[in-house]
Amino acid sequence: MNRTPVLPWPLYTIDFEASSLEPGGYPIEVGLAFWGAPDEPVYSWSTLICPTDEWTQHGDWSKASRAVHGISQAEAKAHGRPPSLVAKAVSEALTTCRVLWCDGGPYDAQWARALFKPAGLRLPCPLGDWHQLLRTLDNNTRDRALHWIEQTPAEHRARADAELLLLALAHGIQITSRPTLNLEDRIPALVLANARTAGAEANLGGCSAEKLKSERTDDGG
């Protein structure tokens, strides 16, 4: 009888898109994905992050990074949520998390710290190396996961890339028809953090139209 390889359920993954890979880079999008058990769907979510004044004044913006993820400064400012709000929502979403898996190593750690600092918070669980998780699996499972992810190009958007890590594990353990659902349907705080209504913008301190206009740069956005 085939047995599902042991994985440390529930599984959480995180991904960031950032302004730059340089030390002054800051997060402009965060994505989470969650897989509770082999017989459950994968849930995922993301939101753009409105850069703080400190980030834009003292951080680094890379046109090369923008060419990869396609997010302009203007888009992040117009549609992003305040970092403190996003950090609080992510923290609430991770209340049952023991390890938050990622594949960005020190980059993800840097951007997580930057996201949580304005709220005076820290990630509620440690970051774990997704590739190290793969190394705990048997060779066949690991090879299937790696082959699938190599054949599935990353979209370089936070939600899709966080989801990708869990879907690769699903293919590794030979669960190939895995539905993906909205994580905000399970965690109401994420709905608030990803609000798009005009009322939410006014109440939650999104970038003002005046600020957006005055700070619109030549980044193409």
Sequence-separated (6 or more) residues with CB below 8 Å from residue 37: 9, 10
* Helices and strands: H and E segment counts in the chain: 11, 6
Q: What is the pLDDT of residues 155-204, one digit of tens each?
A: 999 999 999 999 999 999 999 888 899 999 999 989 977 765 334 444 44
Q: For the CA atoms of the chain, what is the radius of gyration? A: 18
Sequence-separated (6 or more) residues with CB below 8 Å from residue 208: none
Contact 41, 181 (CB under 8 A): yes
Residue 178 has a pLDDT of: 80
Average pLDDT, the chain: 89
| Higher per-residue pLDDT: 162 or 215 | 162
Strands lying side by side in the sheet with 27-35: 127-129, 100-102, 11-18, 27-35, 42-48, 180-182
Alpha carbons 9 and 144: distance in angstroms, whole number: 19
Residue 6 has pLDDT above 50, yes or no: yes
Residue 5 has a pLDDT of: 72
Give the tokens for residue 75. Answer: 């888009």
Place 72 in a pLDDT band, splitting at 50, 70 and 90: very high
Residues 13-19, mean pLDDT to the nearest whole number: 99
User: Structural domains in the chain?
Assistant: 11-215 (3.30.420.10)
Give the global pTM.
0.89
DSSP tag of 174: T
Q: What is the pLDDT of residues 119-154, one digit of tens each?
A: 999 999 999 999 999 999 999 999 999 999 999 989
User: Rounded to an integer, what is the distance from CA 156 to the centroid of its chain?
Assistant: 10
Alpha carbons 189 and 195: distance in angstroms, whole number: 10
Neighbour tally for 203: CB within 10 Å: 11
Alpha carbons 13 and 36: distance in angstroms, whole number: 12
Residue 211 has pLDDT above 80, yes or no: no
**What is the residue whose two structure tokens read 């005009």?**
198
Residue 197 has a pLDDT of: 39
